[in-house]
Amino acid sequence: MQITIEDQIAEGDKVVTRWRADMTHTGEFGDVAPTRRRVTMTGISVERFEDGKVVDAWRSMDTLALLRGIGALSEA
C-alpha cells in the first residue's frame, strides 16, 4: 500500500488531510478472496490535538470504490 497526501491544512488545534491509498488486494477482505487487483481508495481525515497528541479523529473513506475495485460489489 502506498498512501499519498494530496492536501493537508492545519488551523488551531485541528489538522485536515486529503489522501489517496493505492494498493494491491493480496489478502482476504471479509468474504472476498485475494484478487491481486490494484485499487485506489480516497479519503479525508481530521485530527484534533491537545498537548501534541491526537485526542479526537474523524475519517471519511470511499469504501464503495474499494469494494467495487476488488469485485465485492457490482457496478450496477
41 occurs within a structural domain: yes
Cα(18)–Cα(58) distance, rounded to whole angstroms?
Answer: 12
Question: Rounded to 5 degrees, what are φ and ψ at 15?
Answer: -125, 130
- pTM of the entire predicted model: 0.83
Q: What is the CATH number of the domain that holds 42?
A: 3.10.450.50
57 occurs within a structural domain: yes
- Quick check: 19 and 43 in contact, CB under 8 A? yes
76 occurs within a structural domain: no
What's the domain count of the chain? 1
Of the pLDDT bands very low, low, confident and very high (cuts 50, 70, 90), residue 76 is: low
**Residue pLDDT, tens place only, 42-71:** 999 999 999 999 999 999 999 999 999 998
39 occurs within a structural domain: yes
- Quick check: 20 and 2 in contact, CB under 8 A? no
46 occurs within a structural domain: yes
36 occurs within a structural domain: yes
Domain ranges, residue 58: 2-69
Q: Which residue in 44, 36, 40, 48 sits closest to 67, CA to CA?
A: 40
